[in-house]
A and B are shown apart, each in its own frame.
Chain A
Amino acid sequence: MPSPVLEVRGLKKHFAVRRGLFGREGASVKAVDGVDFAIQPGETLGLIGESGCGKTTTSKLILLQEGPTAGSILFEGRDIAGLAGAELMAYRRAVQVVFQDPFSSLSPRMRVRDIIAEPLEIHTDLARSAIDERVGEVLELVGLAPDVAPLFPHEFSGGQRQRVAIARALATDTRLIVLDEPVSALDVSVRAQIINQLEHLQRTLGVSYLFIGHDLATVAHISHRIAVMYLGKIVETADSDTLCARPMHPYTKALFAAALPSHPGDRTESGAIVGEIPSPLNLPTGCRFHPRCPSAMPTCSQVEPALQYRDGAGLVACHLY
């Protein structure tokens, strides 16, 4: 087995919440609380969960926008925490990001050419003509004509803007792209274009994706493996197909029950779980899901379950197994 592009070990990020006039150190929000996963070359890992589950914080840690409280992130076997200078630049070249909203992630004052060229100007010493050539290349890769380079973002539709954002992410020798809900802000008829384009790019370039989303069907479609997060922890990981065929954790099952049918014949009556996501400031004891879990047992409120191998493949953290 090849070594993973990115490996996350015991990753934690706690945000201190200061209360009162003198900022006494109070409770902390455990946004990410012990997360492990690995992404192989050319693989898509889907990270799924509801708001507040820590998926965006995880992506910020990978992108070095936040420093972890504990744990480590290994890129091609090296801990990124200690990177500096040329090595840090090399990491930033190799790991890129595409955000949800292409209307706010592209500067309205920059031409498409400059948006895509910016990482090249920072990271390479290519001549201007070579940069222009590379900009044309990546524009073609994402299905845009090279002659759109002199235009401004407002001259594009949402789907085209998202293509520009993907082109920018591909401009350097990218190994991993963090895709933070890249199709949620797009029109329905345009989403399939972007998903197909991403899949095509992966096949031709061998780039890895960390695909963050909340829509089960979309994440399951594009991902090879899926990690389900709930309140800062991964509760289940498995191959996309295995997870869809046999979800094991009650929360994963709840997500599937809440997923909308793709045909009126598949309507199910009220599989919805009760309650809302608890505040991350005041986490439940034991298993974090137990207050909403339909199959909770007495031990669930006392002992936190550890991730263990589930039958088939993957991992699950639940006392039922």
Chain B
Amino acid sequence: MAPVLEVSGLQTHFFTFGGARVVKAVDGVSFSLGDGETLGLVGESGSGKTTTCLSIVGLLPRAARIVGGRVLFEGEDLTRMSQGELRRVRGRRIAVILQDPMASLNPLFTIFRQVAEPAFFHQQMRGRTLRARVQHLLKAVRIPSPEWRMRDYPHQMSGGMRQRIVGAIALAGGPKLVIADEPTTNLDVTIQAQYLDLLKDIQRETGVALIFVTHNLGIVAKMCDRVAVMYAGKIIEQAAVQELFDDPKHPYTRALLGSVPKLGSKEPLYSIPGQPPNPASLPPGCPFHPRCREALPRCASADPPDFHLGDGRVARCWLLDDAVARS
């Protein structure tokens, strides 16, 4: 079965000071996503996870440019499309849910108008059919009495409801792929659990593929089928979620897993020394080597390539080099 989305060798760079300074925010990212699959894109601030998503949907800020790679969505290369063509893809076949629901809803328009927009624009729905469609969508995201609530404005809703409405807008065009960029960071824990369960239910019903961008490994453990861990603009490890948690291959993944408190355990946490690197001035060699407790001499000089470990597992670390293993 052909994947819904196939990103290969994606490179997105920021050009500042008239091109005098180049920041390689995304530097050779490859992954693919099947129908109804959920991929977790994990990383810290500055690791390039959001830039990767914005590159896919062509919503990059002006200073950024895709300088290499392809983004195949249902067989079409999105990087070669004009903005006009992309507009017909976004909101219909690919939808995006952003972190702050208040910033993605317009405070001046009713909920009805905002949820109706994709169906109005992409599917030319009008009048009664459009109203029925909006009510159906709001019901799907569990807004109580949608026929009344759709006349309200965003400020009349709670934070959890607003984020569910953003979810309804995302589903309005009947997308094949939803990209959710930290959709629950502003929500309370019980509301977050409700929202994540809702996304799962919707995915089961519609078979939509999901990309979940997050820094929270707990969300990955709960939601995802596959995980790609990003560090300094590259995917440093990619695996099925179970394998990644059971047997992480990259030292950064191991360190991250060891640094998160687990319920009911008082074991000391592994503290990763140092800070995430500034993408504008990366260390030579492997970008993680200054913080890595397993670093080899060669890590400081040469960036490791992808090592393919079978079953779609990939990790970028010299420790996985056969020559190292034998010596």
A149 within 8 A of B: no
Per the bound structure, the CA–CA distance linking A245 and B245 in Å amounts to 23
**Binary CB contact string for chain B from 99 to 113 against chain A (1 if under 8 A, 0 otherwise):** 000000000000000
Are A261 and B193 in contact, CB atoms less than 8 angstroms apart?
A: no
Closest A residue to B245 using CB positions? A263
Number of interface residues of A (CB under 8 A): 50
The interface residues of chain B lying within 8 Å CB-to-CB of A222 are: 261
Q: Which residue of A lies closest to B257 (CB)?
A: A262
Query: Does B129 interact with chain A (Cβ within 8 Å)?
Result: no
A240 to B264, CA, bound (A): 8
Which B residues are CB-close (under 8 A) to A269? Answer: 197
A188 touches B197 (CB 8 A): no
Cα-based distance from A321 to B286 in the complex (angstroms): 57
- Complex partner residue of B189 from A159, A160, A188, A255, CB under 8 angstroms: A255
Q: Which residues of B contact A214 (CB under 8 A)?
A: 188-189
Whether the pair B262, A271 counts as a contact (CB closer than 8 A) is: no
Cα-based distance from A267 to B215 in the complex (angstroms): 18
Contact of A257 with B by CB under 8 A: yes
A256–B263 Cα gap in the complex (Å)?
Answer: 9
Q: Are A264's CB and B158's CB within 8 A?
A: no
**B255 contacts A by Cβ under 8 Å:** yes
CB distance from A268 to the nearest CB of B (A): 9
Q: Which of B74-82, B147-155, B268-276 contacts A (4 or more CB under 8 A)?
A: B268-276
From residue 263 to 304 of chain B, which have CB atoms closer than 8 A to chain A? 263-266, 268-273, 275-276, 291
Q: Is A306 an interface residue (CB 8 A)?
A: no
Given contacts A188-B215, A188-B259, A276-B160, contact A262 B197 (CB under 8 A): no
Query: Is the C-beta of B321 less than 8 angstroms from some C-beta in chain A?
Result: no
B188, chain A: closest CB distance, angstroms: 4
Decide if A260 touches B221 in the complex (CB within 8 Å).
yes
B contact residues around A216 at 8 Å (CB): 189, 263
Asked if B222 and A260 sit within 8 Å, CB to CB, the answer is yes
**With A188-B217, A260-B216 in contact, do A272 and B261 touch (Cβ < 8 Å)?**
no
Q: Which of A159, A245, A258, A263 contacts B264 (CB 8 A)?
A: A245
Is B191 positioned at the interface, with any CB of A under 8 Å from its CB?
A: yes
Q: Which residue of B lies closest to A183 (CB)?
A: B261
Inter-chain contacts of A244 with B (CB < 8 A): 263-264
Evaluate contact between B188 and A262: CB separation under 8 angstroms: no
Please determine whether B262 and A264 come into contact, CB atoms closer than 8 angstroms.
no
Distance (Å) between the CB of B289 and the closest chain A CB?
A: 15
Please determine whether B197 and A270 come into contact, CB atoms closer than 8 angstroms.
yes
Assess the A266–B221 pair: CB atoms within 8 A. Answer: yes
- A263 adjacent to B221 (CB under 8 Å): yes
- Assuming the A-B contacts A192-B259, A221-B261, are A262 and B221 also in contact, with contact meaning beta carbons closer than 8 angstroms in the complex? yes
Q: Give A51 to B186 CA distance when docked, in angstroms.
A: 10
Q: Are B245 and A264 in contact (CB under 8 A)?
A: yes
Indicate if A218 sits at the interface (CB-CB under 8 A). yes
List residues of chain B with CB under 8 Å of any chain A CB: 44-45, 158, 160-161, 188-194, 197, 215-222, 224, 241-242, 245, 255-256, 258-266, 268-273, 275-276, 291
Q: Sort A-B residue pairs by CB-CB distance and give the 6 closest, nearest first.
A: A260-B218, A258-B193, A192-B259, A221-B261, A272-B193, A192-B269
Excluding A273-B194, A274-B194, 12 further A-B contacts by CB distance (< 8 Å) are: A51-B188, A188-B215, A214-B188, A217-B261, A240-B266, A255-B189, A260-B222, A261-B222, A262-B260, A264-B245, A266-B221, A273-B190
What are 18 sample pairs from A and B whose C-beta atoms fall under 8 A apart?
A50-B189, A189-B256, A189-B272, A192-B260, A193-B273, A217-B262, A221-B265, A258-B192, A258-B193, A260-B216, A260-B222, A261-B221, A262-B217, A264-B220, A264-B224, A265-B242, A270-B197, A274-B194
